[in-house]
Each structure stands twice: as C-alpha cells, then as structure tokens.
Amino acid sequence: MGRVIAITNQKGGVGKTTTTINLGAALAQKEQYTLLIDSDPQGALSIALGIPAYDLEFTLYSILTDTRIPVAAVTHHVRPHLDVVPANIDLAGAELQLVAMMGREYVLRDALANLRDKYNFILIDCPPSLGLLTVNALAAADEILVPLQCEFLAMRGLDALIDVVARVQRRLNPKLKLIGIVPTMYNPRRIHARAVLDKVRATYPNKVLNVTIKESVRFAEAPEQRRTIFEIDANNEGAAAYRELAEVILNAQPE
C-alpha cells in the first residue's frame, strides 16, 4: 500500500516545490515508484520537470472538477519510476467549484484511492495557502512533511499550519501524521538562520528532522534547465541532503 505525503507550508518560497521534486527524484532513484501531484496553480513543479503545463487540456483541475476523469488520463511519465500529475492556472478556479460539491474535502482522496497499489509514494506539492486545495491534500494524505525556510516570517506561520493540521485530524482525517519539519535554504554562516533553527527545535521538540537542506544556487538553476538537482550536479551537497531525506522518509515512523 503506497504512502501519500502532503508537502505543505502556507508560506510561499520556503522550498515546497524544490523538496517535492528532489525528494521524489531521490525516491525514484531508489526504485520506489513515485507520483508527484502538482497542486499549485502556478504549475512550477510541472514546468520544472519539463511538462508544458500551460498547453495542456487535462491537468489536476480536470480530476478535481470532473470525477469521471481518472488520474491515469492526466499522468505524465517524466523519469524512470517517476510520474507527474501536472497543474496550471486553471487550478485557481477549482476552489470555487469545489465549494459547491458534496464531500468537497475528499475529492482528491477519492481520486487517488485506486493508485495506492500502483505507487510506493504519492507526493503532493501543496499551494502556499490553507484553502480547499490544501485541505484536499491533507484529507488525502497519510503523512505531512513541512519544509521550513530558516527565517523569521516562515517560522511565524508554523503555529497556524499546525493548528490547521490539528483541525483536519479532528474533523476529516484522524490518521494524518506529521513526519516532521525539514529546514530548507539554510545558511549556517548567518546568525539569523542559526537562531531561527534553534528556536524551531526548541518550540517543536522531536519534530525537526536531522536533515538540513542548505542554500545553493543549484536549486535555482535546476528548474531553469528542466532538471532535478541530481541531473544538474549529482555530487552537490543539496543532492546528498535529498538522498538522506529519502532515507529518512523510507524509514519514517510518523508521530
């Protein structure tokens, strides 16, 4: 039975898409059949992996607004062991349409139900909001992974996110578990970054993973070239960190 992991943080620019892509690629390299779901109307994950998202007729929007369309009909095979359900700006209209649907929080969960036997992992790249798209991802997921940029404003948003997760656990998905918080864009030379990381570890004991994704220009260069960090620089420190994160995920016992 495959594991569904929502990669979420309502703060934008904290490394959700970078983490989804490179964690997915690392799992795929370990021959884990992995599906990435782009749940952000910006379509950054899709574009970064070479899918012409804005030219597509069928995307995640199609699945969420027409339950007759199977996930397989919109899935793209992008690497060995790695598939993608893409998104584009059409997805921005999905939340308005979901509001009127019966069981609107469970549309994505129901769409993914038949895929758990096909994939070892399904990773959902959530949008930078706590709206219905994110709620759908949390209702569909078994686990949550929270990328956290090591800066003050990103840290401030954690309380709101943890509160939303708790409400989803109570009302929609009691089996939802937190894998942990993964620090991203970390520069150990910056006093502020070190202070934020220490504060998060103190505030959320045993929730911060022992994997830190350090700041690297390679993470900006890779999507421009429609490649993963492993394809652009396999020996990069960031590539090593995502391989390590994949091992943590494979061995995780969520709390």
H or E element in which residue 181 lies: strand 177-184
Where do the domains of the chain lie, and which CATH numbers do they carry?
3-250 (3.40.50.300)
**134-161 mean pLDDT:** 88
d(CA 10, CA 156): 11
Tens of pLDDT, residues 55-105: 899 999 999 999 899 999 999 999 999 999 999 999 988 888 887 778 889
pLDDT of 151:
81
Q: What is the DSSP letter of 122?
A: E
Provide the pLDDT for residue 253: 60
- Find tokens 């993470």 and name the residue: 219
Across 124-137, average pLDDT = 92
Nearest to 69 by CA among 34, 94, 100: 94
How much is the pTM? Answer: 0.94
Tell me the H-state helices in 67-157.
94-99, 107-112, 132-140, 152-156
- The pLDDT of residue 157 is 76
Whole-number pLDDT of residue 103? 85
pLDDT digits (tens, 9 = 90+) for 205-222: 889 999 999 988 899 899
Q: Give the model's pLDDT for residue 130.
A: 80
Q: What is the mean pLDDT of residues 158-171?
A: 88
pLDDT at 58: 93
Residue type, 57: E
The total of other beta-carbon atoms located within 10 Å of residue 104's CB is: 16
The pLDDT of 47-61, averaged and rounded, is 93
| Sign of the dihedral defined by the CA atoms of residues 41, 42, 48, 50, in that order | positive
Contacts of residue 2, defined as CB under 8 A and 6 or more positions apart, other chains included, come to 33, 115, 116, 117, 118, 119, 120, 121, 122
pLDDT-based confidence at residue 169 (cuts at 50, 70, 90)? very high
